[in-house]
Structure 1
Amino acid sequence: MNWDQIKGNWTQIKGKAQQQWGELTNDDLDIIEGKREELVGRIQERYGIAKEEAEKQVDDFTKKCE
């Protein structure tokens, strides 16, 4: 699944995102609205990790959504 598909199905996929990143709140997920860069930024903020690591986690998440 590519990111455009994830964005289009964000309502269904955000539950999986919350399972993956439990520190993200429902409000975070609503604000993200399927935007990849917003998700990366929120993960960085909540977990205190580097952007590269957050992007790697998002890439792994994208592969798991297939």
Structure 2
Amino acid sequence: MDWNRVEGSWKQMSGKAKEQWGKLTDDDLTEIKGNREQLEGKIQERYGKTKDDVRKEVDDWYDRQNW
């Protein structure tokens, strides 16, 4: 997995992240700046999920993107 793609195109990807995780605010997405650990942390914070669940969710989301 090449997370650098997400970081490099975060402005476009942040919209897709917002579609997937609607509880993330625009401020959250701006703060995250494509950083995977920050994304996972915010998802955990907003949804109350475990770290392992969030990691799998983010992996699945990444795999569904049209690269």
Q: Scaled by the length of structure 2, what TM-score is found?
A: 0.93
Counterpart for residue 7 of structure 2: 7
Which whole-Å CA distance do the structure 2 matches of 1:46 and 1:9 have between them?
A: 23
Aligned equivalents of 2:58 and 2:35: distance in 1? 11
Q: State percent identity of aligned pairs.
A: 50
Greater relative CO (CA pairs within 8 A, separation 6+) = 1
- Determine the structure 1 residue equivalent to 2:18: 18
TM-score, normalisation: structure 1: 0.95
Q: Distance in 1 between matches of 2:18 and 2:52?
A: 20
For residues 14-65 of structure 1, the C-alpha deviation after alignment (integer angstroms, 9 at most, x for no partner) is 0000000000000000000000000000000000010000101110111111
* Structure 1 outlier segments of 4+, above 6 Å: none
- The answer to whether the Cα contact below 8 Å between 1:2 and 1:62 also exists between their aligned partners in 2 is no
The answer for unaligned runs of 5 or more in structure 1 is none
Q: Partner amino acid for 1:36? A: R
